[in-house]
């Protein structure tokens, strides 16, 4: 049953496409432990943090090594260069 005026509930929890900060394939910077930034490509959100606690994390691939990594969202920044 859909309650009038509650379209968000009808879509389901966690299914709001407008909530994402990044989109798949977007070029990003990933802050490293020493404060430097590493160029990466955003792959998507990792949902395990929601179920097991901890900060939100996302998957990022690093083009130079072709390896992926799970990265805390607070360490990912948009990259404007081509």
pLDDT digits (tens, 9 = 90+) for 52-77: 777 889 999 999 999 999 999 999 99
Q: What is residue 50's predicted lDDT score, i.e. its pLDDT?
A: 59
Q: Kindly indicate the confidence band of residue 80, based on its pLDDT and cuts at 50, 70 and 90.
A: confident
- Model confidence pLDDT, tens digit, residues 2-58: 444 444 334 444 444 445 689 999 999 999 999 999 999 999 998 765 567 778 899
Instruction: Catalogue all structural domains in the chain, each as residue range(s) with its CATH number.
Output: 21-78 (2.30.30)
Q: Which strand (E) or helix (H) includes residue 7?
A: helix 7-11
Rounded to 10 degrees, the C-alpha dihedral 15/17/56/64 comes to 130
Q: What is residue 65's predicted lDDT score, i.e. its pLDDT?
A: 95
**pTM attached to this predicted model:** 0.68
């Amino acid at each position: 049953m859909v309650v009038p005026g509650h379209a968000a509930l009808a879509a389901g929890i966690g299914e709001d496409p407008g909530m994402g900060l990044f989109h798949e394939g977007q070029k990003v910077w990933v802050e490293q432990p020493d404060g430097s930034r590493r160029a990466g490509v955003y792959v998507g959100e990792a949902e395990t943090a929601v179920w097991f606690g901890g900060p939100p994390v996302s998957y990022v691939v690093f083009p130079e090594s072709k390896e992926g990594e799970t990265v805390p969202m607070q360490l990912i920044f948009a990259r404007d260069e081509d």
